[in-house]
Structure 1
Amino acid sequence: MTAITRNLPWFIKDLGVSIVGEKCYTSIVENLDLADVECLKYSLSKGLGLGIVVGGSIMKVPQLLLIVSARSARGLSLTSYVLETLSYAITLAYSYRNEFPFSTYGENLFLTLQNVIITLLIVHYNPPSSLAARPSAQRTIFSLQAVIACALALAVVPSSTLALCQIATLPLSLFSKLPQIRQNHRAQSTGQLSAFAVISQIGGCLARLFTTATEVGDPIVSAGFALALALNVLLGLQMWMYWGKEAKDEIELGPTIGVSDEKKAQWAPAAHKVEVVVPPASPGRASPRPGNRRWSRKVD
């Protein structure tokens, strides 16, 4: 078998060396030394890291498709996505500045871009009350300006300040998930939240804990992934509990703002409809005035 592995085409060897290095490629691939635990862990970490980067490039695509197809961001917390996007962007800038291997943080690039698009869609379809009065184009321009300002700030901020920002991603991760968790609990529904995105984030956090410990060893980054894992598991439990349920407030009350009376009557539950029967007035008698009503009893 080693006669084959030692004579693989040059492009396969170059690719393997670029991923795991010359030493581990020779040990694991060419010599098939499966007892080399250090190189096995390193190779597994590299494989998981590249898989996470590829998975991260499409992780939020199902969420995007759900929002666009439904033309609604119901059930998604704008606060959660803003804080989560900021956390991704800080980790991306911190890892790039410290020259960590791209396989240990690359998915943050794609997740940041996808989260920015989702945030813009939330502002477009379900704007907060402070922006609801503005036209859609103005809301979008305002949001893009905020995104560009944050990107420029992270690009020029000193490394020491950026390290403090990375520490701040711990509370950011916490506060980015709490609004979504609270909103799910209050509505007893997860709305347009994508199950694929939640499950992928759980798996990604687990793998990132391993790759960070193997290749980076930064306790701040590891703590961030550990906290994100716990919160994503809680979101996953909510999806399991509320699977197939619509929002409580929409079922019980229905939409009431900006809807005609005719549609309100169609959407109202049957139990809340009251039929009122008004008896016809006697011929030749005028109806009494409301303020001068007289009561009488008919005698046969």
Structure 2
Amino acid sequence: MEYGSMLHFANFSALFLCAVLKFPQISLLFKARSAAGVSLYSLLLELLGFIVFVNYQMYYDYPLPTFLEYPILIAQDVILLLLILHYNGNLKQILIYAAVFVGLWNVLTIEKWVIDLAMSLCTFISASSKLAQLQCLWRSKNSAQVSTLTWALASYTCMARIFTTVVTTGDTQVLVRFIAMTILNLWVTFTVMYYKPSSKKQD
């Protein structure tokens, strides 16, 4: 398979999987009517990382196919945020989070140094989101409401993005971010599998 075909497949597969990435997790929360084991802090950090990443890609006019899935992921994370706040009885807080994230979106691209600094912190922010979810799982020792499939798909999409970044932009900051996210996503995936209450249970 030529690089062009491989690049097309990697872009398409990452976009397609990200379009449904959070659906298994959303479905689990709906069925359980509980957000136990799902870290709100992790989700907020992930949203922050996504917003910074999308703004960085747009600011430097990177090819749309290399980051098109992120607006879709942001929308899915917002749905998850609504569900978590609802099941935790804190739905009114959504107005505060919305104001913060909208304000952040507008501030990031005011100056070049702002978006560059934000992107340099993006890997740390995104890594912190995964570590927060791991901490939540270690504390609860129960991953019944955490989707194995969602985290496994997230691991694949990051691996696909390592390839597309190398072939297209070669941006070192972006590449380091995707390598770190692949490792941490796989770690969360295996932890979720380890803490499943029953091996017969499926997402």
Which stretches in structure 1 are left out of the alignment for 5+ residues? 1-33, 35-39, 246-300
Match of 1:152 in 2: 106
Question: How much does 1:124 deviate?
Answer: 1.9
Q: Which amino acid aligns with 2:87?
A: Y
Match of 1:37 in 2: none
* Cα offsets for 1:143-195 (capped at 9, x unmatched): 322232222223x4322210111110111122111111011112211231111
Q: Which amino acid aligns with 1:141?
A: L
Larger Cα-atom Rg = 1
Question: How much does 1:120 deviate?
Answer: 2.3
Find the residue that maps to 1:216 and give its secondary structure.
coil
Match of 2:201 in 1: none
Give percent identity, aligned residues only.
27
| 1:141 matched to 2:95 | yes
C-alpha distance in 2 between matches for 1:71 and 1:103 = 35
Residue 36 of structure 2 is aligned with which of 46, 50, 74?
74
Find the residue that maps to 2:168 and give its secondary structure.
helix
Question: How much does 1:86 deviate?
Answer: 0.7
Find the residue that maps to 1:59 and give its secondary structure.
coil
8 Å Cα contact 1:52/1:107 also seen in 2: yes
8 Å Cα contact 1:120/1:143 also seen in 2: no
Match of 1:87 in 2: 49
C-alpha distance in 2 between matches for 1:231 and 1:43 = 28
Question: How much does 1:229 deviate?
Answer: 0.7
- TM-score, normalised with respect to structure 1: 0.62
Question: How much does 1:204 deviate?
Answer: 0.7
Structure 1 or 2: larger helix share? 2
Which stretches in structure 2 are left out of the alignment for 5+ residues? 199-203
Question: How much does 1:42 deviate?
Answer: 2.7
C-alpha distance in 2 between matches for 1:186 and 1:142 = 27
Which consecutive aligned stretches of 4+ in structure 1 deviate over 4 angstroms post-superposition? none
| 1:112 matched to 2:74 | yes
8 Å Cα contact 2:144/2:196 also seen in 1: no
Count of aligned pairs between the two proteins: 198
C-alpha distance in 1 between matches for 2:129 and 2:19 = 21
| 1:52 matched to 2:52 | no
Q: Which amino acid aligns with 1:201?
A: A
8 Å Cα contact 2:154/2:185 also seen in 1: yes
Structure ranking higher on relative contact order (CA contacts 8 Å, 6+ apart): 2
Residue 63 of structure 1 is aligned with which of 7, 16, 25?
25
Match of 1:98 in 2: 60
Residue 122 of structure 2 is aligned with which of 160, 169, 172?
169
